[in-house]
Chain A
Amino acid sequence: MKPDQVKKLLMISVSVLLIVLVAGIFFFNRNNKVVLEGPQGEIAANETSSQAWAKFYPAHWDSYQANYANTEKPSHFAAKPYLTAIYAGFGFAKEYNEPRAHVYTIEDILAIDPARKKAGASCFTCKSTQVPEMMQKYGEQYYLMSFDEIKEEFSEAIGCLDCHDPKTMELRLSRPALIEALQRQGRDVDKISQQEMRSLVCAQCHVTYYFQPGSKKITFPWDKGVKAEQILAYYDEMKFSEWTHPDAGSGMVKPRHAEYETFQDSTHESAGLSCADCHMPYTKVGSKKISSHVWQSPLNNIEQSCTTCHRNGSDWLTRRVETIQNQVKQTQDLAGEAVVEAINELKISQVAANVDQAKLKEAQELHRQAQWYLDFVVVTNGYGFHNPTETLNNLGIAIDLAHKSAQKAREARGLK
């Protein structure tokens, strides 16, 4: 090589090296950041339209939009045929489907069977970001309005405003029933940790509730505690029942999606986890890190949800969850059959001649309790995974009470 050739080669290689180095440093610094998507402007204080938040939080909006892929809403009756017998005389016997994603709430509630509309305007309480606005507009009258009277006013599904403060994006509670229940427990709702808020925003809706007789105000029955036996004791004390079972004659109470209550005191909750830790794990969008806003089973993204803590492989983890859920389903089916048997015995005893009224009443009371414990598990998403031991315990109690109810019902008409 001639000296000027060497010079040329050196110049080219040095400049290429420099470009690679500069580009490398630039991309390293750009990608080696944990960027959180922060406020990029001001959103109106009560912006109910989630679309209006989208331009400020594009990555979160995209994640929220992914919920549209969750389109299945199979009937619960397919997997649990005994439900029509235990819900007889109540709207749930007509239609009870698994829910689709949050984005479909308005569409789905408008398509519900008319038998489920009796509760009135209250049905919308967990379906729209516009609810607090409506509560302000109508006051206590909101709860007394009919389903059809108010349905035209809602157009926005569950969205940003339900859990976030538009200014700071901090988590906040927007539904009075939860705030009031916490206050009755003596909690100061302004002094709740961020980690607990990551569960409480969900607990605005994923909890059991009842309509107060008269005012129809949505109330959480938590004053004695949030567990099945404590809530039943609360209802027993106020002599509350929602409907009378037409075949059994028993006064019934109805639990609803008690995910929050079931999760309390579970292994994962005791370890300090919140709903969002498993259901909204951190996920990377480009070089940004956001909490996933695709609400779904953590089994759909084990690498983000479970393996953050559990270093076992996803296959092993899936098998563990499936084992628990299959065992719960099996025991739940046994409890379902036992409760249906109690209903069938009560049905015969109710119309039998010379029936012992005291024993019949006792059998009906046992049926009310048995069905409560069974239903508390049935209505809770996750087939027991939110708290496996407690779930199986509730089902065990349900089976025992149902057998006792059937036995008492037989005794009431003179059989052994």
Chain B
Amino acid sequence: MKKTLMWLAILAILGFSMMLTVKIPALGLAEADFCGSCHLMDEQVSSYLHSPHRNVANCGDCHDPHALVTGSAYAAYSGARDVYRVVTNSAPLEIRTTNLSKKILQENCMRCHGDLMGDIADTSHNGGDYCFHCHQEIVHER
């Protein structure tokens, strides 16, 4: 009994630390090169590579939460979901941001551009529009 618990604990710790590794920059799991290995992302990746953001931000900088634990958990979840959809050939024709993803994106816009928005504050408060409602195709198309 004690041994089983120990094994479970070891597995849990192992799993948790493996999850955290997705945030290691050297692995490149948040880079366009990696995300673009699914052909579904071709349009997004090729237009991103022509945008000014390519010099300052990778996919994960906008699409994953910045914090280590929430960020890696979300990246692991959304990455696994996307791979599952390619493997089972069930990706939607029209790829749209989920509500959670919209909140994450907005937070990341504000993380870099918050100073600029100092006087205006976060436009999405009280049911307002997200930054990308207007600035839709600044980073990539679609």
Contact = CB atoms under 8 A, between A and B. Distances in A.
Interface of A: 1, 24, 27-28, 31-34, 283-284, 286-287, 303-304, 307, 311
A24 B87 contact: yes
Interface residues of B, number: 16
B94 A32 contact: no
A27 B91 CA distance: 13
B89 A31 contact: yes
A9 B42 CA distance: 42
Nearest to A284: B93
A311 B136 contact: yes
A303 B89 CA distance: 18
A28 B93 contact: no
B3 A27 contact: no
Contact of A27 (B39, B40, B88): B88
A28 B3 contact: no
A356 to B, nearest CB: 63
Interface string B98-111: 00000000000000
Interface string B119-142: 000000000000000001000001
Given A1-B3, A303-B93, A32 B136 contact: no
B97 to A, nearest CB: 10
Given A1-B3, A27-B88, A31-B86, 5 more contacts: A24-B87, A27-B89, A31-B88, A32-B37, A311-B142
A286 B39 contact: no
20 contacts: A1-B4, A24-B87, A27-B87, A27-B89, A28-B86, A28-B87, A31-B87, A31-B89, A32-B38, A32-B39, A32-B86, A34-B42, A283-B93, A286-B89, A287-B89, A303-B93, A303-B94, A304-B93, A311-B136, A311-B142
Given A31-B87, A31-B89, A286-B89, A307 B94 contact: yes
Contacts of B24: none
Given A28-B86, A311-B142, A34 B136 contact: no
Contact of B39 (A33, A303, A304): A33
A286 B88 CA distance: 10
B83 interface: yes
Contacts of B87: 24, 27-28, 31
Nearest to B37: A32
Contacts of A1: 3-4
B4 to A, nearest CB: 8
A28 B83 contact: yes
Interface of B: 3-4, 37-40, 42, 83, 86-89, 93-94, 136, 142
A283 B94 CA distance: 11
Contacts of A287: 89
Nearest to B136: A311
A31 B86 CA distance: 6
A34 B42 CA distance: 10
Contacts of B142: 311
Nearest to A28: B87
Contacts of A27: 87-89
Residue in B3, B37, B93 whose Cβ sees the most chain A Cβ within 10 Å: B93
The 8 tightest CB contacts between A and B, nearest first, are A31-B89, A27-B87, A303-B94, A28-B87, A32-B86, A303-B93, A307-B94, A34-B39
Contacts of A286: 89
B70 to A, nearest CB: 26
Contacts of A307: 94
Contacts of B94: 303, 307
Contacts of A311: 136, 142
A303 B86 CA distance: 19
Nearest to A307: B94
A283 B93 CA distance: 8
Contacts of B86: 28, 31-32
Contacts of A304: 93
Nearest to A27: B87
Nearest to B142: A311
Q: Which of A24, A31, A284, A287 has the most CB of B within 10 A?
A: A31
A34 B87 CA distance: 14
Contacts of B93: 283-284, 303-304
A303 B93 CA distance: 7
Nearest to A26: B87
A304 B95 CA distance: 11
A31 B136 CA distance: 29
A299 to B, nearest CB: 15
Nearest to A303: B94
Contacts of B39: 32-34
